[in-house]
Amino acid sequence: MNGKTFFLNRVVARSHDWQCRFPALSYSWTAPEPLSGGRQIVAASADESSVRCAFFSNHGSILDFTATWAELEHAKAWRHFVGRWNFWVVDSKRTRDIILSKHDGQLQAVILGCGKVDRRDDEQFVTFLDRAETQARSLVGIAVE
């Protein structure tokens, strides 16, 4: 299956609640000193079998995507593009290493060091995104409440 089609069939567009909750992640690519160096942000947690990503697009949408690595084998061109052209925020060094092992070694990323996040647990994943948002806000000058 084509990578873009696979992505669009699997992605969950998150509500306005997420968009209001994570403004710095959504728009940090526009700031003079952004977390992402001007790239869109993908926040991810992965294990040996699967990956979960929240894509913070440059038009304000937040897309939540989960797939197994086996499924992503059929979307190599798309996966290569996503790996190279986005800035990755990951929960742990382990996640970064897993993602790197599935790509060609090209990944611009920051590790939050918040410990391993269970990608299947929505509460843990959102807590991880909250930590990433706090870091992004400090870099783009949005007050943290």
What share of the chain has pLDDT > 70, as a percent? 87
Give me the domains of the chain, ranges plus CATH numbers. 3-140 (3.30.420)
Predicted model pTM? 0.86
pLDDT in tens, 70-106: 998 888 888 888 888 888 899 988 998 898 888 766 7
- In the chain, the DSSP E strands lie at 12-13, 40-46, 50-56, 62-68, 86-90, 108-111
